[in-house]
Amino acid sequence: MSDNITAVVDYGVGNLFSLSSSLKAVGANAVITSDKEVIKASARVILPGVGAFADAYAKLCKAGLDALLSDCAGDGKPILGICLGMQLLFEKSYEYGCHRGLGLIPGEVVPLKGRIDVGLKVPHIGWNKLKYKSEEPAFKYISGTAYAYYVHSYFAETDERYITAVSEYGVSVTGAVRNGNVVGMQYHPEKSGDTGLLMLKAFCEEV
Amino acid sequence: MITKRIIPCLDVRDGRVVKGTNFENVKDVADPVEMARFYNKSGADELVFYDITATFDGRRIFTDVLKRVAGEVFIPLTVGGGINGLDDFDRVLKCGADKVSVNSGAVKNPRLIEDAAKLYGDQCVVLSMDVKRVGGKFHVFTRGGRDDIGIDAIEWAKAGEERGAGELVVNSIDTDGVRRGFDIEMLSAIAQVTSVPIIASGGAGNMRHFAELFKALPKVDAGLAAGIFHSGVVTIPSLKQYLSENGIEMRM
Protein backbone atom coordinates (compact mmCIF):
# COMPACT_ATOMS: atom_id res chain seq x y z
CA MET A 1 0.00 0.00 0.00
CA SER A 2 2.46 2.59 -1.12
CA ASP A 3 1.52 6.15 -0.14
CA ASN A 4 -2.18 5.41 0.23
CA ILE A 5 -2.68 5.65 -3.52
CA THR A 6 -6.14 5.71 -5.10
CA ALA A 7 -5.77 4.18 -8.56
CA VAL A 8 -8.14 5.54 -11.20
CA VAL A 9 -8.34 2.89 -13.90
CA ASP A 10 -7.66 4.34 -17.32
CA TYR A 11 -8.88 1.96 -20.01
CA GLY A 12 -9.60 4.48 -22.74
CA VAL A 13 -13.21 5.17 -21.80
CA GLY A 14 -14.09 8.78 -21.21
CA ASN A 15 -12.37 11.81 -19.94
CA LEU A 16 -10.81 11.74 -16.52
CA PHE A 17 -9.98 15.41 -16.05
CA SER A 18 -12.86 16.24 -13.69
CA LEU A 19 -12.53 13.04 -11.72
CA SER A 20 -8.82 13.48 -11.13
CA SER A 21 -9.33 17.17 -10.25
CA SER A 22 -12.06 16.30 -7.76
CA LEU A 23 -9.90 13.65 -6.12
CA LYS A 24 -7.12 16.19 -5.84
CA ALA A 25 -9.60 18.62 -4.29
CA VAL A 26 -10.43 16.15 -1.50
CA GLY A 27 -6.75 15.56 -0.83
CA ALA A 28 -6.54 12.07 -2.28
CA ASN A 29 -3.30 10.78 -3.72
CA ALA A 30 -4.85 9.73 -7.02
CA VAL A 31 -3.00 8.16 -9.92
CA ILE A 32 -4.59 7.66 -13.32
CA THR A 33 -3.23 4.42 -14.60
CA SER A 34 -3.68 1.28 -16.66
CA ASP A 35 -0.57 -0.29 -15.12
CA LYS A 36 -1.51 -3.54 -13.35
CA GLU A 37 1.32 -3.29 -10.87
CA VAL A 38 0.24 0.21 -9.83
CA ILE A 39 -3.35 -0.94 -9.44
CA LYS A 40 -2.26 -3.99 -7.44
CA ALA A 41 -0.15 -1.85 -5.12
CA SER A 42 -2.83 0.80 -4.64
CA ALA A 43 -4.90 1.18 -1.49
CA ARG A 44 -8.16 1.45 -3.43
CA VAL A 45 -9.42 1.54 -7.00
CA ILE A 46 -11.85 3.74 -8.89
CA LEU A 47 -13.39 2.44 -12.11
CA PRO A 48 -14.81 5.33 -14.15
CA GLY A 49 -16.52 5.10 -17.52
CA VAL A 50 -18.90 6.66 -19.99
CA GLY A 51 -20.22 5.26 -23.24
CA ALA A 52 -21.55 1.83 -24.12
CA PHE A 53 -21.34 -1.19 -21.80
CA ALA A 54 -20.14 -3.85 -24.22
CA ASP A 55 -17.43 -1.66 -25.67
CA ALA A 56 -16.16 -0.65 -22.24
CA TYR A 57 -16.16 -4.22 -20.95
CA ALA A 58 -14.28 -5.39 -24.03
CA LYS A 59 -11.66 -2.70 -23.44
CA LEU A 60 -11.26 -3.76 -19.81
CA CYS A 61 -10.78 -7.37 -20.84
CA LYS A 62 -8.39 -6.49 -23.61
CA ALA A 63 -6.22 -4.69 -21.09
CA GLY A 64 -6.43 -7.73 -18.82
CA LEU A 65 -8.05 -5.60 -16.13
CA ASP A 66 -11.20 -7.71 -15.66
CA ALA A 67 -9.35 -10.48 -13.84
CA LEU A 68 -7.26 -7.97 -11.95
CA LEU A 69 -10.35 -6.13 -10.67
CA SER A 70 -11.88 -9.43 -9.55
CA ASP A 71 -8.67 -10.24 -7.69
CA CYS A 72 -8.68 -6.78 -6.07
CA ALA A 73 -12.29 -7.28 -4.99
CA GLY A 74 -11.46 -10.73 -3.62
CA ASP A 75 -8.52 -9.30 -1.67
CA GLY A 76 -10.86 -6.85 0.04
CA LYS A 77 -9.51 -3.76 -1.70
CA PRO A 78 -12.11 -0.99 -1.81
CA ILE A 79 -13.40 -0.50 -5.37
CA LEU A 80 -15.66 2.32 -6.56
CA GLY A 81 -17.36 2.15 -9.95
CA ILE A 82 -18.79 5.40 -11.25
CA CYS A 83 -21.61 5.68 -13.83
CA LEU A 84 -20.81 3.07 -16.51
CA GLY A 85 -18.03 1.93 -14.18
CA MET A 86 -20.71 1.02 -11.64
CA GLN A 87 -22.76 -0.83 -14.24
CA LEU A 88 -19.71 -2.91 -15.16
CA LEU A 89 -19.62 -4.24 -11.58
CA PHE A 90 -22.85 -6.19 -12.16
CA GLU A 91 -23.35 -9.63 -13.68
CA LYS A 92 -24.85 -8.55 -16.97
CA SER A 93 -26.28 -5.69 -18.98
CA TYR A 94 -29.05 -5.53 -21.54
CA GLU A 95 -27.64 -2.53 -23.38
CA TYR A 96 -27.78 -3.45 -27.10
CA GLY A 97 -28.04 -7.19 -26.50
CA CYS A 98 -27.04 -9.11 -23.42
CA HIS A 99 -23.49 -8.73 -22.16
CA ARG A 100 -21.50 -10.12 -19.30
CA GLY A 101 -20.09 -7.82 -16.66
CA LEU A 102 -17.55 -8.21 -13.86
CA GLY A 103 -20.09 -9.89 -11.58
CA LEU A 104 -18.77 -8.30 -8.40
CA ILE A 105 -22.30 -7.36 -7.36
CA PRO A 106 -25.33 -9.59 -8.06
CA GLY A 107 -27.82 -7.95 -10.40
CA GLU A 108 -28.26 -6.70 -13.92
CA VAL A 109 -28.32 -3.47 -15.88
CA VAL A 110 -31.57 -2.70 -17.68
CA PRO A 111 -32.93 0.18 -19.81
CA LEU A 112 -34.97 2.99 -18.28
CA LYS A 113 -37.03 3.02 -21.47
CA GLY A 114 -40.05 0.78 -21.06
CA ARG A 115 -39.84 0.96 -17.29
CA ILE A 116 -40.73 4.63 -16.91
CA ASP A 117 -43.57 6.82 -18.14
CA VAL A 118 -43.21 7.67 -21.85
CA GLY A 119 -43.47 11.34 -20.92
CA LEU A 120 -40.18 11.13 -19.04
CA LYS A 121 -37.09 11.85 -21.05
CA VAL A 122 -34.28 9.35 -21.54
CA PRO A 123 -31.40 9.78 -20.79
CA HIS A 124 -32.13 10.69 -17.20
CA ILE A 125 -30.02 13.85 -17.07
CA GLY A 126 -29.85 16.31 -14.25
CA TRP A 127 -29.91 16.80 -10.51
CA ASN A 128 -32.07 14.37 -8.61
CA LYS A 129 -32.73 13.98 -4.90
CA LEU A 130 -31.06 11.05 -3.17
CA LYS A 131 -32.86 8.82 -0.73
CA TYR A 132 -29.86 7.33 1.03
CA LYS A 133 -28.92 5.03 3.88
CA SER A 134 -27.12 7.16 6.40
CA GLU A 135 -25.15 4.18 7.74
CA GLU A 136 -23.40 3.73 4.36
CA PRO A 137 -19.72 4.61 4.93
CA ALA A 138 -19.47 6.52 1.64
CA PHE A 139 -22.15 8.88 2.95
CA LYS A 140 -20.61 9.48 6.36
CA TYR A 141 -20.08 13.18 5.61
CA ILE A 142 -23.55 13.66 4.07
CA SER A 143 -26.50 14.84 6.11
CA GLY A 144 -29.92 16.26 5.34
CA THR A 145 -31.24 16.64 1.81
CA ALA A 146 -28.74 15.66 -0.87
CA TYR A 147 -28.84 15.87 -4.65
CA ALA A 148 -26.68 14.12 -7.20
CA TYR A 149 -26.03 14.69 -10.89
CA TYR A 150 -27.06 11.86 -13.20
CA VAL A 151 -26.48 11.16 -16.89
CA HIS A 152 -27.60 7.67 -17.96
CA SER A 153 -30.11 5.62 -19.95
CA TYR A 154 -29.68 2.26 -18.15
CA PHE A 155 -29.78 1.40 -14.48
CA ALA A 156 -28.98 -1.49 -12.16
CA GLU A 157 -31.67 -3.82 -10.86
CA THR A 158 -30.42 -5.59 -7.79
CA ASP A 159 -31.46 -6.91 -4.42
CA GLU A 160 -32.55 -4.31 -1.91
CA ARG A 161 -29.70 -5.22 0.43
CA TYR A 162 -27.05 -3.94 -1.98
CA ILE A 163 -28.77 -0.61 -2.58
CA THR A 164 -27.52 2.34 -0.54
CA ALA A 165 -29.19 5.22 -2.39
CA VAL A 166 -32.00 5.71 -4.90
CA SER A 167 -33.56 8.58 -6.82
CA GLU A 168 -37.09 8.73 -8.18
CA TYR A 169 -37.47 8.97 -11.94
CA GLY A 170 -40.61 7.08 -12.90
CA VAL A 171 -39.06 4.13 -11.08
CA SER A 172 -36.79 3.95 -8.10
CA VAL A 173 -33.47 4.39 -9.89
CA THR A 174 -30.52 2.70 -8.22
CA GLY A 175 -28.22 5.56 -7.29
CA ALA A 176 -25.57 3.81 -5.20
CA VAL A 177 -24.76 0.24 -4.19
CA ARG A 178 -22.40 -1.71 -1.97
CA ASN A 179 -21.40 -5.35 -1.76
CA GLY A 180 -18.77 -5.52 0.98
CA ASN A 181 -15.74 -3.61 -0.29
CA VAL A 182 -17.25 -3.02 -3.75
CA VAL A 183 -19.12 0.27 -4.14
CA GLY A 184 -20.96 1.78 -7.10
CA MET A 185 -22.41 5.19 -7.86
CA GLN A 186 -24.66 5.67 -10.89
CA TYR A 187 -24.52 9.45 -10.58
CA HIS A 188 -21.33 11.43 -11.05
CA PRO A 189 -19.88 12.35 -7.65
CA GLU A 190 -17.22 14.41 -9.45
CA LYS A 191 -20.03 16.59 -10.86
CA SER A 192 -22.34 16.64 -7.86
CA GLY A 193 -20.91 19.70 -6.14
CA ASP A 194 -19.95 19.50 -2.46
CA THR A 195 -22.17 16.45 -1.92
CA GLY A 196 -20.17 14.48 -4.46
CA LEU A 197 -16.83 15.68 -3.16
CA LEU A 198 -17.76 14.52 0.34
CA MET A 199 -18.60 11.06 -1.01
CA LEU A 200 -15.27 10.83 -2.79
CA LYS A 201 -13.50 12.00 0.34
CA ALA A 202 -15.23 9.29 2.36
CA PHE A 203 -14.37 6.61 -0.20
CA CYS A 204 -10.74 7.68 -0.26
CA GLU A 205 -10.59 7.01 3.47
CA GLU A 206 -11.71 3.40 3.03
CA VAL A 207 -9.07 0.73 3.47
CA MET B 1 -37.71 13.78 -9.77
CA ILE B 2 -35.24 15.90 -11.66
CA THR B 3 -34.98 19.47 -10.48
CA LYS B 4 -35.30 22.47 -12.76
CA ARG B 5 -31.89 24.02 -13.35
CA ILE B 6 -30.73 27.58 -12.90
CA ILE B 7 -27.78 28.36 -15.14
CA PRO B 8 -25.65 31.50 -15.21
CA CYS B 9 -23.91 32.15 -18.50
CA LEU B 10 -20.43 33.66 -18.67
CA ASP B 11 -19.20 35.27 -21.88
CA VAL B 12 -15.42 35.19 -21.90
CA ARG B 13 -13.18 37.37 -24.03
CA ASP B 14 -9.39 37.30 -23.68
CA GLY B 15 -9.66 35.46 -20.41
CA ARG B 16 -12.10 37.92 -18.83
CA VAL B 17 -15.84 37.77 -18.26
CA VAL B 18 -17.64 40.36 -20.31
CA LYS B 19 -20.35 42.28 -18.44
CA GLY B 20 -19.16 41.18 -15.02
CA THR B 21 -20.39 43.71 -12.48
CA ASN B 22 -21.31 44.05 -8.86
CA PHE B 23 -20.53 40.97 -6.81
CA GLU B 24 -20.49 40.86 -3.11
CA ASN B 25 -17.36 39.18 -1.81
CA VAL B 26 -15.82 38.76 -5.23
CA LYS B 27 -12.69 40.80 -5.64
CA ASP B 28 -12.14 40.44 -9.34
CA VAL B 29 -15.57 40.33 -10.97
CA ALA B 30 -14.14 39.81 -14.41
CA ASP B 31 -12.10 36.76 -13.47
CA PRO B 32 -13.99 33.71 -14.79
CA VAL B 33 -12.54 31.43 -12.15
CA GLU B 34 -13.60 33.73 -9.30
CA MET B 35 -17.05 34.05 -10.81
CA ALA B 36 -17.41 30.32 -11.32
CA ARG B 37 -16.44 29.77 -7.71
CA PHE B 38 -18.98 32.37 -6.60
CA TYR B 39 -21.81 30.85 -8.64
CA ASN B 40 -20.96 27.36 -7.47
CA LYS B 41 -21.22 28.51 -3.86
CA SER B 42 -24.48 30.29 -4.66
CA GLY B 43 -26.06 27.04 -5.81
CA ALA B 44 -25.92 27.35 -9.61
CA ASP B 45 -26.86 23.96 -11.09
CA GLU B 46 -24.59 24.24 -14.08
CA LEU B 47 -22.38 26.86 -15.73
CA VAL B 48 -22.24 27.86 -19.36
CA PHE B 49 -19.09 29.42 -20.75
CA TYR B 50 -19.11 31.11 -24.14
CA ASP B 51 -15.83 31.85 -25.80
CA ILE B 52 -16.43 35.09 -27.65
CA THR B 53 -12.89 35.58 -28.88
CA ALA B 54 -12.01 34.76 -32.41
CA THR B 55 -8.24 34.92 -32.25
CA PHE B 56 -5.90 31.99 -31.81
CA ASP B 57 -4.42 33.52 -28.68
CA GLY B 58 -7.83 34.23 -27.22
CA ARG B 59 -8.81 30.62 -27.78
CA ARG B 60 -5.73 29.35 -26.00
CA ILE B 61 -6.42 31.64 -23.03
CA PHE B 62 -10.03 30.40 -22.97
CA THR B 63 -9.10 26.74 -22.73
CA ASP B 64 -6.66 27.69 -20.01
CA VAL B 65 -9.45 29.40 -18.07
CA LEU B 66 -11.70 26.39 -18.60
CA LYS B 67 -9.08 24.06 -17.16
CA ARG B 68 -8.74 26.22 -14.09
CA VAL B 69 -12.51 26.34 -13.59
CA ALA B 70 -12.94 22.59 -14.11
CA GLY B 71 -10.09 22.04 -11.69
CA GLU B 72 -12.06 23.44 -8.80
CA VAL B 73 -15.74 23.74 -9.64
CA PHE B 74 -17.42 20.36 -9.62
CA ILE B 75 -20.78 20.92 -11.29
CA PRO B 76 -21.64 20.37 -14.96
CA LEU B 77 -19.91 22.75 -17.35
CA THR B 78 -21.18 23.53 -20.82
CA VAL B 79 -18.87 25.25 -23.25
CA GLY B 80 -19.69 27.03 -26.47
CA GLY B 81 -18.35 29.58 -28.91
CA GLY B 82 -16.16 28.78 -31.88
CA ILE B 83 -17.12 25.10 -32.01
CA ASN B 84 -16.80 24.25 -35.69
CA GLY B 85 -15.45 20.72 -35.75
CA LEU B 86 -14.73 17.59 -33.79
CA ASP B 87 -11.30 18.91 -32.91
CA ASP B 88 -13.01 21.77 -31.08
CA PHE B 89 -15.09 19.24 -29.13
CA ASP B 90 -11.94 17.37 -28.27
CA ARG B 91 -10.13 20.55 -27.22
CA VAL B 92 -12.77 21.68 -24.68
CA LEU B 93 -13.72 18.21 -23.42
CA LYS B 94 -10.09 17.58 -22.54
CA CYS B 95 -10.15 20.75 -20.46
CA GLY B 96 -13.04 19.54 -18.34
CA ALA B 97 -16.18 20.53 -20.26
CA ASP B 98 -19.07 18.06 -19.86
CA LYS B 99 -21.20 19.33 -22.69
CA VAL B 100 -20.34 21.25 -25.81
CA SER B 101 -22.68 23.71 -27.38
CA VAL B 102 -22.72 24.23 -31.13
CA ASN B 103 -24.40 27.14 -32.87
CA SER B 104 -23.17 28.67 -36.15
CA GLY B 105 -20.81 25.72 -36.61
CA ALA B 106 -23.79 23.34 -36.77
CA VAL B 107 -25.68 25.60 -39.18
CA LYS B 108 -22.69 25.60 -41.52
CA ASN B 109 -22.24 21.86 -41.14
CA PRO B 110 -25.23 20.04 -39.60
CA ARG B 111 -23.37 16.73 -39.77
CA LEU B 112 -21.22 18.01 -36.93
CA ILE B 113 -24.14 17.28 -34.57
CA GLU B 114 -24.39 13.63 -35.52
CA ASP B 115 -20.66 13.08 -35.77
CA ALA B 116 -20.15 14.50 -32.29
CA ALA B 117 -23.16 12.62 -30.88
CA LYS B 118 -21.79 9.34 -32.22
CA LEU B 119 -18.36 9.99 -30.80
CA TYR B 120 -19.22 11.50 -27.43
CA GLY B 121 -22.87 10.57 -26.88
CA ASP B 122 -26.05 12.62 -27.28
CA GLN B 123 -25.81 13.95 -23.74
CA CYS B 124 -22.63 15.77 -24.68
CA VAL B 125 -24.00 17.70 -27.64
CA VAL B 126 -26.01 20.85 -27.03
CA LEU B 127 -27.56 22.68 -29.96
CA SER B 128 -27.71 26.36 -29.20
CA MET B 129 -29.89 28.56 -31.39
CA ASP B 130 -30.55 32.29 -31.56
CA VAL B 131 -34.11 32.89 -32.70
CA LYS B 132 -35.90 36.01 -33.90
CA ARG B 133 -39.34 36.73 -35.36
CA VAL B 134 -39.28 37.57 -39.06
CA GLY B 135 -42.58 38.16 -40.84
CA GLY B 136 -44.61 36.07 -38.39
CA LYS B 137 -42.13 33.19 -38.41
CA PHE B 138 -39.25 32.21 -36.16
CA HIS B 139 -35.89 32.39 -37.90
CA VAL B 140 -32.48 31.13 -36.83
CA PHE B 141 -29.78 33.79 -36.75
CA THR B 142 -26.05 33.13 -36.72
CA ARG B 143 -22.88 35.07 -35.95
CA GLY B 144 -24.11 36.13 -32.54
CA GLY B 145 -27.53 37.12 -33.82
CA ARG B 146 -26.33 39.24 -36.76
CA ASP B 147 -27.23 37.12 -39.77
CA ASP B 148 -30.66 35.86 -40.77
CA ILE B 149 -29.89 32.67 -42.64
CA GLY B 150 -33.50 32.00 -43.58
CA ILE B 151 -33.83 28.76 -41.60
CA ASP B 152 -37.06 28.09 -39.73
CA ALA B 153 -36.31 27.69 -36.03
CA ILE B 154 -38.95 25.02 -35.41
CA GLU B 155 -37.59 22.89 -38.26
CA TRP B 156 -34.02 23.44 -37.13
CA ALA B 157 -34.81 22.37 -33.56
CA LYS B 158 -36.48 19.20 -34.84
CA ALA B 159 -33.59 18.47 -37.20
CA GLY B 160 -31.08 19.07 -34.40
CA GLU B 161 -32.77 16.56 -32.16
CA GLU B 162 -33.01 14.00 -34.97
CA ARG B 163 -29.31 14.40 -35.66
CA GLY B 164 -28.53 13.64 -32.03
CA ALA B 165 -28.45 16.87 -30.04
CA GLY B 166 -29.12 15.90 -26.42
CA GLU B 167 -30.25 19.32 -25.34
CA LEU B 168 -31.35 22.62 -26.86
CA VAL B 169 -30.42 26.08 -25.68
CA VAL B 170 -33.04 28.37 -27.16
CA ASN B 171 -32.24 32.04 -27.00
CA SER B 172 -34.77 34.65 -28.04
CA ILE B 173 -33.17 37.65 -29.69
CA ASP B 174 -36.50 39.49 -29.39
CA THR B 175 -36.58 39.29 -25.60
CA ASP B 176 -32.83 39.17 -24.92
CA GLY B 177 -31.71 42.04 -22.72
CA VAL B 178 -35.23 43.46 -22.45
CA ARG B 179 -35.85 41.87 -19.04
CA ARG B 180 -39.61 41.57 -19.49
CA GLY B 181 -39.70 37.79 -19.25
CA PHE B 182 -38.78 34.76 -21.32
CA ASP B 183 -40.20 34.32 -24.81
CA ILE B 184 -42.88 31.84 -23.77
CA GLU B 185 -44.60 31.88 -27.16
CA MET B 186 -41.49 30.96 -29.10
CA LEU B 187 -40.24 28.45 -26.50
CA SER B 188 -43.63 26.79 -26.47
CA ALA B 189 -43.57 26.37 -30.25
CA ILE B 190 -40.21 24.63 -29.98
CA ALA B 191 -41.12 22.54 -26.91
CA GLN B 192 -44.14 21.16 -28.78
CA VAL B 193 -42.04 19.54 -31.49
CA THR B 194 -39.06 18.30 -29.46
CA SER B 195 -38.51 15.90 -26.58
CA VAL B 196 -34.96 16.69 -25.44
CA PRO B 197 -34.38 19.07 -22.52
CA ILE B 198 -34.78 22.75 -23.36
CA ILE B 199 -32.78 25.49 -21.73
CA ALA B 200 -34.61 28.79 -22.07
CA SER B 201 -32.56 31.92 -22.54
CA GLY B 202 -33.23 35.59 -23.09
CA GLY B 203 -35.51 37.97 -21.27
CA ALA B 204 -35.34 37.13 -17.57
CA GLY B 205 -35.60 40.32 -15.52
CA ASN B 206 -36.78 39.10 -12.16
CA MET B 207 -37.61 35.99 -10.15
CA ARG B 208 -41.24 35.93 -11.26
CA HIS B 209 -40.14 35.47 -14.87
CA PHE B 210 -38.53 32.14 -13.98
CA ALA B 211 -41.67 30.98 -12.18
CA GLU B 212 -43.79 31.98 -15.19
CA LEU B 213 -41.46 30.07 -17.49
CA PHE B 214 -41.51 26.80 -15.54
CA LYS B 215 -45.25 26.97 -14.87
CA ALA B 216 -46.23 27.80 -18.46
CA LEU B 217 -43.85 25.28 -19.99
CA PRO B 218 -43.33 22.16 -17.87
CA LYS B 219 -41.17 20.75 -20.66
CA VAL B 220 -38.55 23.45 -20.18
CA ASP B 221 -35.80 22.10 -17.95
CA ALA B 222 -33.67 25.11 -17.23
CA GLY B 223 -33.53 28.87 -17.21
CA LEU B 224 -30.37 30.57 -18.33
CA ALA B 225 -29.40 34.19 -17.76
CA ALA B 226 -26.32 36.38 -17.61
CA GLY B 227 -26.87 40.06 -16.87
CA ILE B 228 -29.35 39.77 -14.02
CA PHE B 229 -27.10 37.32 -12.17
CA HIS B 230 -23.90 39.24 -12.89
CA SER B 231 -25.43 42.53 -11.77
CA GLY B 232 -26.94 40.98 -8.66
CA VAL B 233 -30.48 42.06 -9.62
CA VAL B 234 -31.38 38.43 -9.00
CA THR B 235 -29.32 36.22 -6.71
CA ILE B 236 -29.38 32.48 -7.16
CA PRO B 237 -30.10 31.50 -3.53
CA SER B 238 -33.12 33.79 -3.32
CA LEU B 239 -34.32 32.75 -6.78
CA LYS B 240 -34.17 29.06 -5.88
CA GLN B 241 -35.87 29.72 -2.56
CA TYR B 242 -38.63 31.65 -4.35
CA LEU B 243 -39.17 28.98 -7.00
CA SER B 244 -39.17 26.23 -4.41
CA GLU B 245 -41.85 28.08 -2.42
CA ASN B 246 -43.83 28.29 -5.66
CA GLY B 247 -43.85 24.53 -6.02
CA ILE B 248 -41.01 24.17 -8.50
CA GLU B 249 -38.49 21.51 -7.56
CA MET B 250 -35.04 22.95 -7.01
CA ARG B 251 -31.74 21.61 -5.74
CA MET B 252 -31.46 23.48 -2.47
pLDDT above 90 covers a percentage of chain B that reads 78
So what's the ipTM on this one? 0.90
Total number of domains constituting chain A: 1
pLDDT at A25 over 50: yes
Residue among B45, B70, B197 minimizing CB distance to A17:
B70
A168: which residues sit within 8 A by CB, 6+ positions away? A128, A129, A131, B1
pLDDT above 70 covers a percentage of chain B that reads 96
Alpha-carbon distance values, A113 to B23, B29, B56, B111 (Å): 44, 44, 44, 27
Range of the domain at A25: 2-203
Question: Letter for the amino acid at A48?
Answer: P
Tell me whether residue B81 is in a domain: yes
Tell me whether residue B11 is in a domain: yes
Residue B251: its pLDDT value, please?
97
| Ramachandran assignment for A99, one of left (phi > 0), alpha (psi -120 to 50 degrees), beta (any other) | beta
At A54, which CATH number?
A: 3.40.50.880
Residue B104: its pLDDT value, please?
93
Alpha-carbon distance values, A47 to A19, A39, A50, A185 (Å): 11, 11, 11, 10
Residue A1: its pLDDT value, please?
45
pLDDT tens for each residue of A110-146: 999 999 998 888 889 999 999 999 999 999 999 999 9
User: Once rounded to an integer, what is the mean pLDDT over residues B125-136?
Assistant: 95
Residue B178: its pLDDT value, please?
87
Tell me whether residue B251 is in a domain: no
Q: Which residues of A touch B98 (CB under 8 A)?
A: 18, 191
pLDDT tens for each residue of A62-113: 999 999 999 999 999 999 999 999 999 999 999 989 999 999 999 999 999 9
pLDDT at B19 over 80: no
Range of the domain at B166: 5-245
Residue among A17, A123, A193 minimizing CB distance to B75:
A193
Total number of domains constituting chain B: 1
Does A32 contact B at CB distance below 8 Å? no
- DSSP for B127-195, written as a single string: EEEEEEEETTEEEEEETTTTEEEEEEHHHHHHHHHHHT-SEEEEEETTTTTT-S---HHHHHHHHHH--
At B136, which CATH number?
A: 3.20.20.70
pLDDT above 70 covers a percentage of chain A that reads 99
Q: Binning pLDDT at 50, 70 and 90, where does residue B27 land?
A: low
Tell me whether residue B250 is in a domain: no
Tell me whether residue B174 is in a domain: yes
Q: Is A188 a catalytic residue?
A: yes
Instruction: Tell me the pLDDT of chain B averaged across its residues.
Output: 92
**∠B87-B90-B93 over CA atoms, to 5°?**
150
Q: What is the pTM of this model?
A: 0.93
